[in-house]
Amino acid sequence: MSGNSPMVSLRIPEDFLLELDQRIGLEGTRNRSDVIREAIKKYITNPLPSLGTKVEVNLGPDLSVRMKDFCKIHGELPESVLKQGAKELIRRETIEGETVDRLLSSRMKEIQIRYDSESNAQ
């Protein structure tokens, strides 16, 4: 990443600089510039708060293979597959949950009516 990259000057507090220096050599970084570039890359790849939340998911070995194959066959990105899967699960659970709530509420009303009529009969 050298050569054509524009140079930028910035001021960094001493304590940040010490922390930055401790990260040199980690994740393939060779110097302060590498560490700063990596930090900027991580910062930029996170979505803006107004655009939604980013979630990392460990799919495990079996599902990783299936996801890779599925994406290859259907020309989809894993992110879009997971997003669609989450939407579908939430939609289904919301509909089923609403149905269950209505059934329980209806059943409770029936029981209450029966209890009230039995109490009044005595």
* Residue 38 shares a structural domain with residue 63: no
* Residue 66 shares a structural domain with residue 39: no
**Residue 51 per-residue DSSP state:** G
Q: Is residue 17 part of a domain?
A: yes
- Rounded to whole angstroms, the Cα distance separating 35 from 30 reads 8
Identify the residue whose tokens are 């066959």: 73
Q: Is residue 98 part of a domain?
A: yes
* Residue 71 shares a structural domain with residue 113: yes
Q: What is the span of the domain harbouring residue 44?
A: 10-54
**Residue 77 per-residue DSSP state:** -
Query: What are 78's two structure tokens?
Result: 């894993």
Alpha helices in the chain (DSSP H): 14-22, 32-45, 60-74, 78-121
Are residues 23 and 7 in contact, defined by beta-carbon separation less than 8 angstroms? no
Q: What is the pLDDT of residue 122?
A: 62
- Rounded to whole angstroms, the Cα distance separating 119 from 122 reads 6
Task: Specify the number of domains making up the chain.
Answer: 2
Q: Is residue 5 part of a domain?
A: no
Longest dimension (CA), the chain: 95
pTM over 0.85: no
**Residue 67 per-residue DSSP state:** H
* Residue 36 shares a structural domain with residue 94: no
Tens-level pLDDT at each residue, the chain (122 residues): 556 888 889 898 999 999 999 999 988 889 999 999 988 988 887 767 666 777 888 999 999 999 999 999 998 889 889 999 998 988 887 777 777 778 888 888 989 888 888 777 66
